[in-house]
Amino acid sequence: MEHSFPILPTISTSCIVISAVLVGYGWYLIRQRNVEAHKKVMLSAASFALLFFIIYISRTLFIGNTSFGGPESIRIYYTIFLIFHIFLAAVGAVFGIVTILSGLKNNLIRHKRLGPITSVVWFCTAVTGVAVYLLLYVFYRGGETTSMIKAILGF
* Residues within the interface to ligand HEM (CB under 6 A): 23, 26-27, 30, 35, 38-39, 42-43, 46, 96, 99-100, 103-104, 108, 111-112, 115-116, 118-119, 122
Q: What does the chain come to in residues? A: 155
Neighbouring residues of 52: CB distance < 8 A, sequence distance ≥ 6: 12, 15, 16, 19
Q: Please state the closest distance from residue 94 (CB atom) to ligand HEM, in A.
A: 12
Between 121 and 135, CB nearer to ligand HEM: 121
CA 81 to chain centre: 14
Beta bridge partners of 145: 66
Between 112 and 141, CB nearer to ligand HEM: 112
Q: Please state the closest distance from residue 8 (CB atom) to ligand HEM, in A.
A: 25
Q: Please state the closest distance from residue 85 (CB atom) to ligand HEM, in A.
A: 18
Q: Please state the closest distance from residue 98 (CB atom) to ligand HEM, in A.
A: 9
Between 84 and 123, CB nearer to ligand HEM: 123
Residue 9's nearest CA partner among 93, 132, 91, 127 is 132
Between 32 and 73, CB nearer to ligand HEM: 32
Between 105 and 150, CB nearer to ligand HEM: 105
CA 61/CA 54 separation, integer angstroms: 11
Q: Please state the closest distance from residue 36 (CB atom) to ligand HEM, in A.
A: 9
Neighbouring residues of 122: CB distance < 8 A, sequence distance ≥ 6: 19, 20, 23, 45, 49, 92, 96
Supply φ then ψ for residue 145, to 5 degrees: -115, 120
